[in-house]
Amino acid sequence: MKIAIDGPSGVGKSTLAKAIANEFGLMYVDTGAMYRMVAFYFAKNNLDYRNEENLKKFLHDINIELSSDAKFFLNGEDVTDFLRTQQIAQISSTLAQFKSVRDKLTALQKKIAMTKNVVMDGRDIASNIMPNADFKFYLDAKAFVRAQRRMDELGKKNFQECYEKILQRDERDLNRKISPLVRVSDAIFIDTTDMDFEQVRQKVFDIIRTGG
Q: What is the pLDDT of residues 151-161, one digit of tens each?
A: 887 777 889 98
Q: Which domains does the chain have, with CATH numbers?
A: 2-210 (3.40.50.300)
User: What is the pairing mode between strands 72-74 and 77-78?
Assistant: antiparallel
Residue 23: how many other CB atoms lie within 10 Å: 14
The more confident residue out of 198 and 176 is: 198
Residue 6 banded pLDDT, cuts 50, 70, 90: very high
Q: Over the stretch 52-106, which tens digit does the pLDDT of each residue have?
A: 999 999 999 999 998 877 789 999 999 999 998 888 988 998 998 899 999 999 9
Residue 45 has pLDDT above 90, yes or no: yes
pTM: 0.86
Residue 137 has pLDDT above 90, yes or no: yes
Calculate the CA 209 to chain-centre distance.
24
